[in-house]
Amino acid sequence: MSRDLQHRLHASIETAVVVDDLPLDRRHIEALAVQLTPQVKALIAQAVADAKDDAPIQYAIVGTEVDETAGVSTTTYAQCTSRINVLVDENSPAALLAAKFRSRQPDVVATDVPSATYLGLTVRPQSLHAWAWWVHRLALDPSALTRQDNAVYGVGSVGQVAVHVCGDGVPELLTDTAAARLMGLLAEADQ
């Protein structure tokens, strides 16, 4: 892939040089292709990862029930449970964010929407990188995260929605403290 990419990049640079009448010779073009190949590969990898973040995940609806006394509608999917207050509009920011996370992120175990601007989110990340994605996506402060039993809890936000997250199984992922610190997932005071 790298050699093929380098050749394709070389051809693109050569075309741009000719079209724009740039003062570069074959040696310059070759050097640019060799130097830019790793950066272009990284950009392609990031674009693919971003596309996967937005790829919808298909879940079958197992059942829906409304608890009249609690005022909560619960929908159970194959791998996720969604609860929403019956008084909350399904087009509210929190409900839309919950639906987006449920449909596009396989880590989501449960979503709770008690109000239009508050989302309770339970995730079960499979790796430190997955947890780092959630920390970044929800704007969580690593020094404000709390551990309790087999979960990590924190409050962040996405746009105008406050998100209370429960990272199920995250303490097991954080056992490699050096890697977690390097990724910015642990504050310096954490031991």
Residue 123 near residue 105, CB atoms below 8 Å: yes
Terminal CA-to-CA distance of the chain, rounded, Å? 42
In a structure prediction context, what are the per-residue pLDDT tens digits for the chain, which is 191 residues long? 467 777 787 888 888 888 888 888 888 888 888 888 777 777 777 777 766 655 555 555 555 566 656 788 888 876 888 899 989 999 999 999 999 998 888 899 999 999 999 999 999 998 888 888 899 999 998 888 898 989 999 999 999 999 999 999 888 877 766 666 655 666 555 54
Structure token pair of residue 114: 């008690």
What's the predicted TM-score (pTM) here?
0.61
d(Cα 123, Cα 17) in Å, to the nearest integer? 49
The interaxial angle of helices 26-54 and 2-20, nearest 10 deg, is 120
